[in-house]
Amino acid sequence: MDNLQKYKPTDKMIDLISDNYSLLQVMSRFGLSLGFGDKTVKEVCELNGVDCRTFLIVVNFMSEGFSRMDGSSEDISIPALIDYLRQAHIYFLDFSLPAIRRKLIEAIDCSQDDVAFLILKFFDEYTREVRKHMDYEEKTVFKYVDALINGNAPRNYQISTFSKHHDQVGEKLTELKNIIIKYYPEKENNNKLNAVLFDIFNCEHDLASHCQVEDYMFVPAVAQLERRLKNEQ
């Protein structure tokens, strides 16, 4: 299937994954498990209680290189999108970043190398920054949006504040990647270092995708909900 072609509810889920294996992460974050046979996207979503329209909006947005969103913000189920974003946070904080750290320790010798020690220190500082950013989203942004969904519009916050606060958490990861490539001396365990670099590149891309979904889908949908509640008051 051509990447420019939009995926539809009647397409088989296996075709989506065969076309673009990175959509496995999207499936997982929406709570869709494997073992779906030849079922369509609509059938798999319905079996798992997932909003099919929101799932496809995210899938098509990512497949088209974040260039445009299919449909309007009104088509998005905000609760479904929050679940997706929360699962992404769990993936980054509890799986992806700890796995990269373990591989880093295996690939570089922190006991005898100042550069290696600085690389690990830089990574730990970066992880703390990501955790702080995602904690802010969980405790402030999502809590605020949950109140909006329940028909309450807290006066002490607006989603535009999140837009201003929301810097690209991937920038420091790019710096880390460049430090390793430019300054870490080549040693015999090159395969391990290349493997962890590959993971860092993937994580950098995944975090950028995550931020795009927040900026171009989540924020506009919440802003529209804010306006609707304001007009009703």
Range of the domain at 44: 13-63
Rounded to 5 degrees, φ, ψ at 43 are -65, -45
Contact assessment for residue 148 and residue 229, using Cβ atoms and an 8 Å cutoff: yes
Q: Which amino acid is at 158?
A: Q
Highest mean pLDDT among 47-56, 155-164, 197-206: 47-56
| Helix, strand, coil fractions of the chain, as percent rounded to 5 | 70, 0, 30
- Asked whether residue 109 falls in the same domain as residue 133, the answer is yes
- Asked whether residue 51 falls in the same domain as residue 83, the answer is no
- Asked whether residue 207 falls in the same domain as residue 94, the answer is yes
- Asked whether residue 130 falls in the same domain as residue 155, the answer is yes
Decide if 4 is inside a domain: no
- Asked whether residue 47 falls in the same domain as residue 87, the answer is no
- Asked whether residue 57 falls in the same domain as residue 168, the answer is no
**Distant-in-sequence contacts of 63-70, Cβ < 8 A, 24+ apart:** 63/3, 63/7, 63/19, 63/20, 63/23, 64/3, 64/4, 64/6, 66/209, 66/212, 66/216, 69/216, 69/217, 70/6
pLDDT above 90 covers a percentage of the chain that reads 56
Could you tell me how far CA 97 lies from the centroid of its own chain?
Answer: 13
Average pLDDT over residues 42-46: 97
Residue 36 clears pLDDT 70, i.e. is over it: yes
Decide if 1 is inside a domain: no
- Asked whether residue 55 falls in the same domain as residue 79, the answer is no
Residue 189 clears pLDDT 90, i.e. is over it: no
- Asked whether residue 24 falls in the same domain as residue 109, the answer is no
pLDDT on residue 169: 64
The 10s digit of each residue's pLDDT in 112-137 is 678 888 899 999 999 999 999 999 99
Average pLDDT over residues 35-64: 94
Q: Which tokens belong to 35? A: 């073992």
Decide if 68 is inside a domain: no
- Asked whether residue 44 falls in the same domain as residue 127, the answer is no
pTM here is: 0.88
Q: What is the mean pLDDT of the chain?
A: 87
Residue 167 clears pLDDT 70, i.e. is over it: no
Average pLDDT over residues 176-202: 85
- Asked whether residue 36 falls in the same domain as residue 56, the answer is yes
- Asked whether residue 53 falls in the same domain as residue 125, the answer is no
Least confident segment among 22-26, 68-72, 177-181:
68-72
Per-residue pLDDT band at 70 (split at 50, 70, 90): low
Decide if 8 is inside a domain: no
- Asked whether residue 84 falls in the same domain as residue 180, the answer is yes
Residue 22 clears pLDDT 60, i.e. is over it: yes
Provide the domain count of the chain.
Answer: 2
Which letter, b or e, does each residue of 75-112 get, where b requires 16 or more Cβ atoms within 10 Å of its Cβ? ebbbebbbbbbebbbebbeeebbeebeebbeebbeeee
